[in-house]
A = this chain, B = another copy of it.
Amino acid sequence: MQYYMLDEQKAMDYVTETGLFSKKNNLSCREIGDGNLNLVFIIKDDVTEKSMVLKQALPYVRVVGESWPLSVNRTRIEANALEVQNKLVPGLVPKLYHRNDDMALIIMEDLSHLSLMRYGMVQMKKFPKFSDHISTFLANMLFYTSDLYVDSEAKKHLVQKFVNPELCKITEDLIFTDPYYDAERNNINPALRIYLEETFWKKEALWLEVSKLKYKFLTEAQSLLHGDLHTGSIFANANETRVFDTEFAFVGPSAFDVGKIIGNLLINYISWSGKDMNPTDIKDYRVYLLDTVNDLYQQFEQKFKNNWDRDLRDISAKVTGYQEFYMRNIFVDAVGYAGAVMIRRMHGLAHNIDVDGIEDLEKRKSVQILILELAETLIINRANFNTIEDITMLVRNRIY
């Protein structure tokens, strides 16, 4: 089948062809994507109320002022990853109903009854099931796609299937490279520039440690990652949590997914320092956030070890001390990756509404510096922390 771009009418026609809806007459369709990377249609049977999401990749990315071609191969990656996730963490990702790699489209579960976690968090919404759900997501995905569980040859085919050059390149550049010098693609708060020029970009020791983390991102084919696990890739409400947008999936260092989500929670934690809100509310929300970080990591670790005890296959991993070595590696690197993603959201290309919602640029700058300096501490000292509570205690002691 030849690729063609859908519009609302064509999307309805396409869906009817698939047989996923019984009657065409009752369908309605709405395009809700931002149009930069993908088209996203919600298609609904107005009689039965049944609805689905159709996502189609566009063959380019539009970024500020330039055209950036991007192969639609990312839809194949996303569909492949959704298939694995639906086996290993059913109920924590959208169900996949249909894929068409030629058309670069997938049809999946409509999750519009949930809200984007990032938007909830800038409104101090709490997600009481989040740490339980995400720790399961991480423990299952990262254990059951690693050499601990997957047969040696199947693992190599997993690596091969998820080779994802274009999207990995984005991460390599935007997270691990551009923020450490005056790169053209950086998106810099003018009030922050002087700090970057006079202080941040002179931190060679920091850049060195980030380059070591980049080395692992480039080379360490440990587990199948989501690859972009931040609060903007999660739909949630009080009871449900769903991870989506998994087009960055590839086999990489397990710690990257863990660190990315933690870093994004810490960004939100610090962002309140720049906002005029009731201090009691801030304090309460911050307690919730650090509890969430602690819970998330502790539960992840416990569930991962439970998987290990139940399902470990590699005889080499049974030797005394190996589990400690393995878990320690993930912890140390996760702390480092948390720092790296905090930094990239301050003055790299893509920001967070958590901080960019602070309209006063001086106030925003102060928050950005707080975040940059905390991130630096995490990265430089990552091998000196022992538990996640060392991290949350440090954050609480420094910013409250």
Contact = CB atoms under 8 A, between A and B. Distances in A.
Interface of A: 147, 152-153, 155-157, 159-160, 163-166, 168-169, 172, 176-177, 180-181, 204-205, 207-208, 210-212, 214-215, 218-222, 315-317, 319-322, 325-326
A163 B165 contact: no
Given A208-B322, A211-B316, A219-B147, A153 B177 contact: no
Given A152-B165, A172-B152, A321-B204, A315 B177 contact: yes
A168 B147 contact: no
A348 to B, nearest CB: 14
What is the predominant secondary structure among interface residues of chain A facing chain B? helix
A54 to B, nearest CB: 29
A296 B219 CA distance: 26
| Shortest 3 CB-CB contacts between residues of A and residues of B | A153-B165, A156-B165, A211-B316
A147 B211 CA distance: 12
A216 to B, nearest CB: 9
A215 B317 CA distance: 9
Contact of A156 (B157, B163, B211): B163
A166 B153 CA distance: 7
Nearest to A170: B152
A321 B166 contact: no
18 contacts: A147-B219, A152-B172, A153-B165, A153-B169, A156-B165, A160-B160, A160-B163, A177-B316, A180-B316, A181-B315, A204-B320, A208-B319, A210-B316, A211-B319, A212-B322, A219-B219, A219-B221, A220-B221
A79 to B, nearest CB: 18
B325 A208 contact: yes
Contact of A204 (B168, B222, B319, B326): B319
Given A156-B165, A208-B320, 20 more contacts: A147-B215, A147-B219, A152-B165, A152-B172, A155-B218, A156-B168, A157-B165, A159-B159, A160-B160, A160-B163, A204-B320, A207-B316, A208-B319, A208-B322, A210-B316, A211-B322, A218-B221, A219-B222, A220-B221, A221-B221
